[in-house]
Structure 1
Amino acid sequence: MKVLTEAQLRAKHKKEQMENLIVKSNTIITPSAKEYLNEKNIKLVFEDKEHLETTNEEEKETKEEKFTPKYICQYTGGYLEEKPENMTQLYGNELVFKNHPSIIFRGKLDSLQSKILEIQVLAHKDKKTKLIDDLQEILEFVRNILKSEVINQKIEDFNFFGIEETDIREMSHNPKNNLGVDHILPDYKMGELVIGLNSIRSNIREVEIVSISLNRDDIIKSLNRLSSAVYVMMCRYLAGYYK
């Protein structure tokens, strides 16, 4: 049984312009391949005469709808009943290897959320309510980035703590003028909360580097401004804002 994928169609269509494509009746056509055929107006013709003579199209469609594969391999278009240990779901039932750029990115975001929650716990012990609230805003923004990647939705205009993202960038570049403190060279004497915020900031930078492989400028920009926002939080802490 042969599997016909979108990649195979693209390669074939690049070599020769096709109006019809003849395949064996037992060929598996992947969903993305079907979309490509429709997009290019290529008619699918089956070699099996019996298949061609089937006139009850409604009955055929009903039969096709009843079969829903548990998993589909993104690389081959083949169907799988069990998920291999080295693969995971990218979108819906579509499987990819766990070193896929999007999966690595999501893993980094998961680690970032864990770090933010850790520092929220420390802030709660120290009764820093303002800091907890600002960290919650950062956490929700990270979760929104994850959502936008999963559903492929663009991240629109945003702000932090009621401050426009362009102003956050300016504040992080000139903390002395805007926040009353010099640029920070982290030191253990600053205390566990400032050092914890710095860990969040450095984790965001790691996620940003990974995000480059996604070709999503909106996500890269969001992460860039997010690290600036956390740096502003560090400066605010040292300036006494979170007392």
Structure 2
Amino acid sequence: MTLDKTVATPAGAVADIPDGASLAVGGFGLCGIPMVLIDALLERGVGDLSVVSNNCGVDDWGLGVLLAAGRIRKMTSSYVGENKEFERQYLSGELELELTPQGTLAEKLRAGGAGIAAFFTQTGVGTQVAEGGLPQRYGADGSIAVASAPKPVQTFTVRGEEHEFVLEEAITTDFALVHALKGDRHGNLVFDKSARNFSPLAAMAGRVCIAQVEELVEPGVLDPDAVHLPGIFVDRIVEVGTGIEKRIERRTVREGN
């Protein structure tokens, strides 16, 4: 593996992502999403994608542009609001959905990147998350065509008390797409405040991680103590500049401001 992981263009960075690939995509709402890489995928016409991401953007932004073009087969997400096309596709049976509690989704990605096959958590015990039956795909007539399967539940003693825990399997994907504020040619990344969100976890889970960065610097410029994701997890890095469009999902201000 070469230490210089830079790629000249976003199109070149995603050139080998095939139809049917699985993707882990960073971002939370519209914050910290790798929009330039998503647009490059859209331009390539790649389809039948299985995507793991906290949400699926909005109707005309983020992963929503791939969804609207019919390129996504399955979403594994925590939050699916703010996207009417997502609702339409899911309820009509065009889109498969695996709903996952947000903290569990984060840990599934982290565990996958760390080489941990599965873990136990209390989140979801006593609900359909553990017991199964969550609609994952609807039929054209509105019936449930595919439902989630039951998960193993086991009792452990924690702090002297017995509690039930559900077994959750880790997530790994073929590729990961993330956005960072800065990165160096070795792939070390620095994220901007809350734009850090799911991105390091998504990057860890992808067998091939592709990062778009606003500013590319030479090795040694970044303070090692400030690096949020070490370059060992990053395979390709492409500079997209600081002038890229960034959207706010909902802007709220006080009256008079």
Do they fold alike, i.e. is TM over 0.5?
A: no
More helix per residue: 1
In our comparison, the structure showing a higher alpha carbon Rg is 1
More strand per residue: 2
| TM-score (normalizing by structure 2) | 0.23
